Structure 1
């Protein structure tokens, strides 16, 4: 009976995405299996997958080890040993299985190494060690090249980030940039990243990865807070600074002004500090805002179990609940209450805007001071480079300046965050009731809480009654 073997193929990079490299490997491995009179029963293919990077999991390689240990295959055929392993630990895992099952077969197309024998294992260990060193050397050269490109403000290649054109990653994609700015404005207005992520997923925005059902939360957050938005060049996720201490600017069009970007970053960071690991999702406008007219306990919305799309039953209700410490005696259909509150709040905010002075685009007062600190730092570094001062003197004078610079940058970010948040939250002059109710519920709550501190829902008595607006009491700020 022919020996059943598995064929393992792998290539680190498949830029065209056509899997031609692994296909050629498979053909050569099948030819070798025929020469040995072995039956190739399964092909384990890791296309566009590195065997050197430690954090990468090669799913087909792991499946092959499992099948080999379980006896489902009697050996392995690979194009070359470095297709199987470039990390000594992966080779040792494979050798361990061959130790446990001495009759396993092994062959490669390019050489005659056989890890089923002691001499073959010794040679395999030496070859993988050299392959590992080769990968380290290549990685070091690539990293040095990427750093050089970063210091020059150039891109390192790859797919264009969302917000820039796919055919020219230095040019802004107008539609994507518009979606980013709108989402940033929503963040400043109190909308969750999770809400934006869901909408983007439905609309196909944000360059979602092929085959994924949901975009990752951190992926959307990175798009909206990336330093690239203001033209800053990054290296390993950090903003790269030049010899003068200033951020290196990239050779592409920015999407945000600095104050806009800093405001969004500060708002996201503040939300993380205030609500670590806590969901901010809301389903109903007045949950936590409405209160029972009898016991004054907070009322929350709850879905009506009898409601079906197209039915006349109420979609949801605001109900005082005994479970939450209330009296359980007050409840109201939710939709007309929401519509009434939306109408009252929008009218109040339009009236307030009509008598308010025109908004002034104020600039942060510390801009000149920050610019002077940056200039002082650049002069100190230049003085040390020209041997006017020693390194010791530089390291004595530099830290206080850097601390002062960082404190001023934090103050600037806080200033623009509050300014941009105020603009985003107060921009309701031309919003209709229907447009208001179509907004994310977090945004609706921000608008309502700008005018109201609570909404008292008074009891309507027994029996079926027509909605009475007088029983809904807004408590104005």
Structure 2
């Protein structure tokens, strides 16, 4: 009976996502299995996955070890030993399994190492050690190259970040840039990143491999707050400064102004600080806003299902719940309540917009002061380089200037956050009712809460009754 073996393939980088490298390995490994009269029953493929980086988990490698230890396969065929392991500890895990099951088979296309023999294990340890050193040396050279490129404001290659053209990553992609700016306006208006992520996933936005992977929350957050948007060059996730302490500017077109970018970053940071780890997801517009007219407990929205012959109709209601500490005596179909409150809130917005004539100052008043502090820092550093002052003097004067600079930058970020939030939230006056209900639920709530502190739903009595607007009491701020 033919031995049942698994084929393991891996490639560290696949920028195009076409998996051609692992496909070539697969073909060569299958040919070798046929020559040995083995039956290849499963392929374990780790495409675009490093075997050297310690924090990377190779899912298919782990599955292969599990199947090998459980006896589901009788051996492994790989293209080369360094496809399997570039860290000695990974090799030792594999050797332990071969110790426990001496009859396991092992073969590679490029050499004839046998993990089933002591000599083969010794040779494999030497080969993996050299592969590990090779990866370490390459990593050191690449890091040095990337730092040099970063200091010059140049790109490091790889797939174009979302927002820039794939053909020329220095040029802005108009469609992607528009999606980023729109999402940033939504963030400033109170929309959750999770809501934006869901919409982007459905529309195929924000992911260079749209449709193949589910977008992560932090991935969308990074796109919307990346320093690259304003032209800043980063290194290991931090904005890189030049010798004068000023941000290094990259050789690409910016999508945001500094004011827009700082406003979005400040809004995201503020939201994390206010609601750490808490979900802000809402399904209904008046969730957390509506209250029972009898017991004044917050009313929650819920789905009511009504079965009809051949179909299933659903309606949501606002229902006072005993589970939430309420009296359970007040409930109302949700849609007419939402429409009434939306009409009242939009009408109030229009009235206030018509009465507001005071212009808003669009510029931060202390910008010149910040520029002067930056110049002072540059002069101090240059004075130490030219030996006009000592290092001791520099270190006495510099921390105070740096604190002053950081405080001013924080104040500037807050100013533009509030300004941009006011602009993003203040455009509701021109919305129609249909446009309002087309907005994300967080945006609807933001508009309603801008003028209302609560909505009290009074009891309508027993039996079927027509909707009575007088029983819905808005509490204005």
After TM superposition, the score normalised by the length of structure 1 is 0.92
Paired with 1:122 and 1:270, the residues of 2 have a C-alpha distance of 56
RMSD: 2.6
| 1:260 CA drift (Å) | 1.1
| 1:68 CA drift (Å) | 2.8
Paired with 2:49 and 2:351, the residues of 1 have a C-alpha distance of 61
Deviates more, 1:384-393 or 1:398-407: 384-393
Paired with 1:342 and 1:38, the residues of 2 have a C-alpha distance of 70
Paired with 1:329 and 1:24, the residues of 2 have a C-alpha distance of 69
> Unaligned stretches of 5+ in structure 1?
none
> SS of the counterpart of 1:323?
coil
Q: Which residue of 1 aligns with 2:143?
A: 143
Paired with 1:309 and 1:387, the residues of 2 have a C-alpha distance of 91
Q: Which residue of 1 aligns with 2:288?
A: 288
Q: Which residue of 2 aligns with 1:187?
A: 187
Deviates more, 1:226-235 or 1:31-40: 31-40
Q: Given the alignment of the two structures, is residue 248 of structure 1 paired with residue 248 of structure 2, yes or no?
A: yes
Q: Given the alignment of the two structures, is residue 325 of structure 1 paired with residue 320 of structure 2, yes or no?
A: no
| 1:213 CA drift (Å) | 6.3
Q: Given the alignment of the two structures, is residue 373 of structure 1 paired with residue 378 of structure 2, yes or no?
A: no
Q: Is the 8 A contact 1:208 1:215 kept in 2?
A: no
Paired with 1:180 and 1:309, the residues of 2 have a C-alpha distance of 46
Q: Which residue of 2 aligns with 1:418?
A: 418
Paired with 1:225 and 1:383, the residues of 2 have a C-alpha distance of 35
| 1:184 CA drift (Å) | 0.9
Deviation digits for residues 155-180 of structure 1 (CA, Å, limit 9, x no counterpart):
11111111112221111111211111
| 1:305 CA drift (Å) | 2.5
**1:394–1:470 CA distance, 2 compared to 1 (3 A):** same
Paired with 2:329 and 2:412, the residues of 1 have a C-alpha distance of 50
| 1:141-290 alignment runs, 5 A limit | 141-207=141-207, 209-212=209-212, 214-290=214-290
> Unaligned stretches of 5+ in structure 2?
none
Q: Which residue of 2 aligns with 1:460?
A: 460
Q: Which residue of 2 aligns with 1:408?
A: 408
**1:357–1:313 CA distance, 2 compared to 1 (3 A):** same
Deviates more, 1:5-14 or 1:407-416: 5-14
| 1:89 CA drift (Å) | 0.6
Paired with 1:308 and 1:265, the residues of 2 have a C-alpha distance of 50
**1:392–1:79 CA distance, 2 compared to 1 (3 A):** same
Deviates more, 1:39-48 or 1:406-415: 39-48
| 1:333 CA drift (Å) | 2.0
Deviation digits for residues 317-374 of structure 1 (CA, Å, limit 9, x no counterpart):
2223333333333322221121111112211221111121153343112211111111
Q: Which residue of 2 aligns with 1:448?
A: 448
**1:307–1:141 CA distance, 2 compared to 1 (3 A):** farther
> SS of the counterpart of 2:199?
helix
| 1:230 CA drift (Å) | 0.7
After TM superposition, the score normalised by the length of structure 2 is 0.92
Q: Is the 8 A contact 2:377 2:402 kept in 1?
A: yes
> SS of the counterpart of 1:288?
coil
Q: Which residue of 1 aligns with 2:97?
A: 97
Q: Is the 8 A contact 1:307 1:315 kept in 2?
A: no
**1:473–1:190 CA distance, 2 compared to 1 (3 A):** same
Q: Is the 8 A contact 2:30 2:40 kept in 1?
A: yes
Q: Which residue of 1 aligns with 2:388?
A: 388
Q: Is the 8 A contact 1:98 1:104 kept in 2?
A: yes
| 1:453 CA drift (Å) | 1.9
> SS of the counterpart of 1:82?
helix
Deviates more, 1:12-21 or 1:159-168: 12-21
Paired with 2:105 and 2:446, the residues of 1 have a C-alpha distance of 68
The number of residue pairs the alignment matches comes to: 477
Q: Is the 8 A contact 2:306 2:312 kept in 1?
A: no
